[in-house]
Structure 1
Amino acid sequence: MIRTQSAFPAARPAPCRRFPRAGRRCWGAALMMLGGAAAGAEAPVAEATGGFVEDTRWSLLNRTVLERRDYLDGGRSNGGRNAVLPRARRSDYAQEWGYGLMGAVESGFTRGVVGFGADAHAYFAHKLSGDDLRVGKVRMLPVDRQGYAQDGIARGGAALKVRISSTVLKVGEQRAKAPIFSSSDTRLLPETMRGWLLTSHEIDKLTLQAGHFTGSADRNARGTANPLVVNYLDPKSPRGDAFDFAGATWKAAPALSLSAYLGRLKDTWRTGYLGASYAVPLGAKRALAFDLQLYHSKDTGRALAGPIDNTTASLMATYTHGPHRLGVGWQKVDGDTPFDYLTRGAIWLGNAAQLSDFNAPHEQSWQLRYEVDAASWGAPGLAMGAAYIRGSGIDGSRVPARGGYAWLGYGKDGRHWERDLWLRYTVQAGSAKGLALLLRYGEHRSNKAQAELDARQIRVAVEYPIGS
C-alpha cells in the first residue's frame, strides 16, 4: 500500500471484539491527519536558517467527527454494548459526535554547534452527542474508570529537543512515526507518547531512529500519565512498562525504499521488522508499485504475555493508470497467537483495514482495492475509493491457555470479510482552503470462530487547519 501524506490517507486497522472485556477499540482508520496538529510527528531534520524564535511555527486544527457503529450479532454476543451497564440498558449500537481543537507550537533551535529548542501541544475535545449507552467503544469521546461518558478532554504536553548537525534528540511528550511504534490520529485527538526519540539524517538518503518510551495517552485519554497501549493483550494480563526500538530507512533509489527496525517490550516480546517499497514507471501515466511488510515477534525475558512466536507478512501490488489505482493485497499470519503491536498506529500491514486487522492466528487474507483521483474529471481535491478483504484459515485452537491472548476466544476454521467505501474532499483555494471532508462506510461480517464483531460503520469527519 502506498502511503500518502494527504489530509485523510488510506485506511488503518480496527478490530472489534466480541467480548464485554474488549475495551480496546473497534476503530475505523481513516483520519491519520498529519498536517496542522502533527506536533512531534516525524519530519525531515534540516539546518535552521534563523534561530529559536525566528524558526518557531504554530498551528491550530479544528476537527469534528460523527461516527455510528451498528453491531449486527443480535443475541450472539454483547461485545458491542457498554458492558458496564446493566444488560437491560445496553445499546446494540455506538454513536459518538465531538469537536476537537489541537494546538501546537514548535520552536526553532538556538544558534551554535549544539542547538536547543522546545515543542508543546494542547488538545481539547468536547462531546456534542453521546450518552452512557452509546459511548466507549468508538474511543473518540472520553469515559471514566467505570466506562461512563464524560463531557470533554483537556490535556497537553511538552518536549525539549537538542540538535547537532542533522541529528535531533527529543525528550518528553510527543508523537512518533515508525513501523513498530507509531502515533495514531484516527479520532478527534492524536495519540501521544512519553519518552525520548532520536532521529538522524547525517547520511544522505538514510534516516536513523532510536527511541525509549514508558507511557502513552490514547486518543480519548483525559490525561498523559498512562501505561503503554498494547492492542490485543488481555487488559488483565501483565506486560512490560517500557518499549525500546531502533531502525533505519534507506532511500536506495528514487523508486526504492528499504526499512529495518528492532524493538522490545520489556519482559514481554521483541519485534523485528523489514519493509520495502518499489515503484516501476511504465510510461504514459502508468506505474506499478509493490509494498512489502514483514514482522516477526518472539517472547523475551519473563514472557509476561506467555509464549509468542509470530511471523506476519503482507504484499500489496498497485497498478496506476492516470487517476485510477487498482490494488491487490495478500497477507499471512504464521503463529498460534494474533499479531500484536504497541500504540494504535504501529501496524503497517497492507490488509489492516477499517474494522479489522486480519491478523488472527494462522490467518490468510486477500484484498482488492480501487481508488480514483477526480482532479482529471474537473474536481480537484476529490478522491474516492473502495476495498474488499476476505480472511480465512483462522485457527485459535493452539493459543496458549495461560498466555495473554486466550481471552480473545478464537476458534478453528475462522473466516470473515470486510468492505469499505470512502470519499475525501479538500478545498484547494479561497478562504476555505484546507477545509477537508471525509465520508466513510464500512461493514464487517464473520463466523463465530473469528472472534470479532459483525458491525456496520458510518463516519463523517470535517477538519480545518490554521497555521503560521
Structure 2
Amino acid sequence: MRVMKWSMIALAVSAGTTQFAMASSQDDSKGFIEDSTLTSKTRMLYMNRDFRNGAGNIPKPGGGFKSGYREDWGLSELLNYTSGFTQGTIGVGVDAFAMGTLRLDGGAGRQGNGLFASKSDGSPEDTQSKAGGAVKFRLSDTVLKYGNQFVASPVFSTDDSRLLPEVATGTLITSHEIEGLELSAGRFTAMSSQTGMYHDSLHLPSADIAGATYQFTDNFVGGVAASDVDDYFKKQYINLNYTLPIDENQGLNFDFNGYRTSSQGQELAGNVDNKIWSLAAAYSIGAHKFTLAHQRSSGDSGYYYGVDGGGTIFLANSVQYSDFNGKDERSWQARYDLNLATYGVPGLSFMARYVKGDNISTDAGEGREHEFDFESKYVMQEGPAKDLSFRLRSAIYRTTSNYGVDTNDVRVIVEYPFNIL
C-alpha cells in the first residue's frame, strides 16, 4: 500500500508540469481572502429507537431494563471556514471548523443513539464542542492537505449521521491534473468519533489510503480504492456506474460496488475475511424512480468497518438501521422515490424501500432480517429561510434466529445551511 500511495503522489505532482496541465486551478487563484468562504450548518435531530419483544436499553442490576427504548434530542452547530489559495506557483491556504452540540432532551436511562457522550455517572453530556483545522497547498490542480479534515473515500469515510461529523487527522493529496481522472492518496493517524471530543477517540493506529476515479464517458464512471489499516485489515474497493438515457423523461442507472477485506497484524477486529458486493438498477420516469438491488456477502466473516470511519460502507443495502452485511448474507431491496416538483410542489420528496436478508451464518443457525423504511423531506425553495429542510425518517426492523433486536427507529431532522461569506 505504501508503494501505491507514494507512486500516486509522484504521478499527481509530476503531471502538474506536463502537457495535461494547460490551464490549472492555481492559475485562476484570486487570493487567500478573495476566494474564502464561511458557512454554517444548524441541525436539530430527534431520534427514538423502540426495542420490541421484551428487549430494552441499558440493563438494570438484578434484571430488566431502565427503559424499552432510546430517546435523544439535540441541536448542533457547525462553522466551516475555507480559505482561498495564495497566488503564485504553489498556493497556500487553510481550512478550519468549530462545532458544538446542545442536549435538548434524553436522560441516562434513555441515551445510546450516538448523539451525546456520557459523563462519569452515565448521564449524557449537556454540551460538547471541538474545533480544528488544516493547512493546504496547491500546485496546478493538485492539492495537499494536512491536519483535521472530513474525508469521503469508500475505504475511509467520516460519518455524519448524527449531530456532528467524525473528524480525521492526517494528510490527503487529491489530483485533477488529467481531465476526467481523480487521483487521491493519504495517511491518517487519528479519528475523532461523532461524540468523542478529543482527536483520536476511535483509537485509529494508522491508515494508508489510495484511490482513482475516471469518467470514461458522459454516462460511465469507474473507480477503485484501497486501504491499509495497521493491525486491523487491508481493504480493496471497486465501483462501476453507468447511466443509459432513454429519452428526455426516462433513464436507467446501474451501480456496482464491491469490497474485499482481509485482517492483518494483531487482528484487532478479529479474523476478518470478507468479500461483499451490491448491484442496483434504477429506472427513472418523470417524478418517479424505481430501484431494485441485490447484495451478497461471502468469506469467513461479515463486512467490518468503523475504525476506518463510520461511513465506510458504500453498498446499496446499507440503509437506515441495518447494513445487511452479515457473514454469508444475501439481501434484496425494492425502493420507490417520488419527487413532487413535477406535481407543482418543488422541494417535497418521498421515499419507501423494503430490504430482506437471509442465509446469515450465526452460532444459532441461519439468521434472517428485514427492514421497511419510509422517508419524507421538504426543502424551502425561496425567502429568508431558503434551503431550510425538514426530514422524517422511519425504519421498522425485524430479525430471527437471535441475529439482532427487533427495533422501530424514528428520526426527525431539521437542518439549515447558511453561507456567511
Same structural fold, with TM-score higher than 0.5 when normalized by the shorter chain: yes
Contact 1:142 1:151 in 2 (8 A): no
Q: Quickly say closer, same or farther: Cα 1:131–1:302, change in 2 above 3 A.
A: closer
Deviations 1:259-302 (A, max 9, x none): 00111111221011110110000114110100000100112234
> Does 1:388 pair with 2:388?
no
Name the TM-score, length of structure 1 as normaliser.
Answer: 0.81
The counterpart of 1:456, out of the listed 401, 404, 408, is 408
Deviations 1:390-447 (A, max 9, x none): 00000134xxxxxxxxxxxxx3210010000000110111111010110111110001
The alpha-carbon deviation at position 334 of structure 1 amounts to: 0.4
Gaps of 5+ in 1: 1-44, 229-239, 398-410
Gaps of 5+ in 2: 1-23
Q: Quickly say closer, same or farther: Cα 1:278–1:147, change in 2 above 3 A.
A: farther
The counterpart of 2:186, out of the listed 204, 211, 223, is 211
The alpha-carbon deviation at position 96 of structure 1 amounts to: 0.5
The counterpart of 1:242, out of the listed 206, 210, 217, is 206
> Does 1:283 pair with 2:263?
no
The counterpart of 1:120, out of the listed 96, 99, 106, is 96
Query: Structure 1 stretches (4+) deviating beyond 6 angstroms?
Result: none
> Counterparts of 1:46 and 1:142 in 2: how far apart (Å)?
41
Partner of 2:337: 371
Contact 2:29 2:86 in 1 (8 A): no
> Does 1:419 pair with 2:395?
no
Amino acid at match of 1:91: S
Q: Quickly say closer, same or farther: Cα 1:46–1:83, change in 2 above 3 A.
A: farther
**Backbone CA RMSD of aligned residues:** 1.7
Instruction: Give the total of aligned pairs.
Output: 394
Name the TM-score, length of structure 2 as normaliser.
Answer: 0.90
Q: Which of the pair is proportionally richer in strand?
A: 2
Amino acid at match of 2:199: T
Contact 1:297 1:309 in 2 (8 A): yes
The alpha-carbon deviation at position 214 of structure 1 amounts to: 1.5
The counterpart of 1:227, out of the listed 193, 198, 202, is 202
Quick check: which has more Rg, 1 or 2? Answer: 2
Partner of 1:331: 295
The counterpart of 1:348, out of the listed 314, 334, 350, is 314
The counterpart of 2:73, out of the listed 97, 101, 114, is 97
Q: Name whichever of 288-297 and 45-54 sits farther off.
A: 45-54
The alpha-carbon deviation at position 305 of structure 1 amounts to: 3.4
Question: Alignment identity in percent?
Answer: 34
Q: Quickly say closer, same or farther: Cα 1:394–1:244, change in 2 above 3 A.
A: same
Partner of 1:14: none
Matched ranges for 1:281-320 at <5 A: 281-320=245-284
Partner of 1:162: 137
Amino acid at match of 1:335: G
Amino acid at match of 2:194: R
The counterpart of 2:223, out of the listed 251, 259, 283, is 259
> Counterparts of 1:85 and 1:274 in 2: how far apart (Å)?
48
The alpha-carbon deviation at position 306 of structure 1 amounts to: 3.6
Matched ranges for 1:22-33 at <5 A: none
Amino acid at match of 2:163: L
> Does 1:200 pair with 2:153?
no
Amino acid at match of 2:111: V
Contact 1:168 1:200 in 2 (8 A): yes
Secondary structure in 2 aligned to 1:375? helix
Amino acid at match of 1:453: V
Q: Quickly say closer, same or farther: Cα 1:384–1:347, change in 2 above 3 A.
A: same
